[in-house]
Amino acid sequence: MKKSNFLKVCLGNVIKFFAGIMLPNRMKRIVFVSSLACQMSPEKKLSPETINKLNLLMDLVEDSKSLELGSDFSNAIWKNRQCLTVCQKVAQEEVSDDQSVSSIVASIKESTAHWLKYGDEKLMERDIQFLVENKEVIAGRF
């Protein structure tokens, strides 16, 4: 590994470590939900209207513009994660039955970076399930 790549990897790991420790659970949830919704979106980008609707339905923040942070860094957050193919299936609406939803929730939860996990696991599961079951909102069809 080249020295510059090694330094990038080390710096990235240090940032993730401190993010896991320093970010409050509420902030992790905001970044998690908005970045995951972006990955589930067919365009891999959320419009301001979609962000507003998502915030209204999930009651995440006072100002919807706060959700743009997770959306802006979505590709970096979810890069090389095993659940990306699952997110693509959600975006393409290839998910229908309850069995699929529960396996998608498990897959996403399993491949979420440790630094991004927040609070109670049940809350994360509910958030993921909400996003999967409301894929039409994420796709901007509401």
0.85 exceeded by pTM: no
Q: Is 52 inside any structural domain?
A: yes
Parent domain of 80:
24-138
pLDDT, residue 125, reads: 95
Domain-located, residue 10: no
Q: Does residue 15 fall inside a structural domain? A: no
Q: What's the start-to-end Cα distance of the chain, in Å?
A: 47
Q: Which long-range contacts (CB under 8 A, 24 or more apart) does 53-59 make?
A: 53/137, 53/142, 54/137, 54/138, 57/130, 57/134, 57/137, 58/33, 58/127, 58/130
Contact 55, 67 (CB under 8 A): yes
Task: Give the position of tokens 């409050």.
Answer: 24
Domain count, the chain: 1
Residue 73: predicted pLDDT:
86
Domain-embedded: residue 17: no
pLDDT tens string, the chain, 142 residues long: the values are 566 676 666 656 656 665 656 788 998 999 999 999 999 888 888 899 999 999 999 999 999 988 888 888 888 888 877 777 778 777 776 666 655 888 889 989 998 988 899 988 999 999 999 998 888 888 776 5
Is residue 47 a part of any domain in this protein? yes
The verdict on residue 122 lying in a domain is: yes
Question: How much is the pLDDT for 13?
Answer: 62
Q: For residue 7, tell me if it sits in a domain.
A: no
Residue 115 lies in a domain: yes
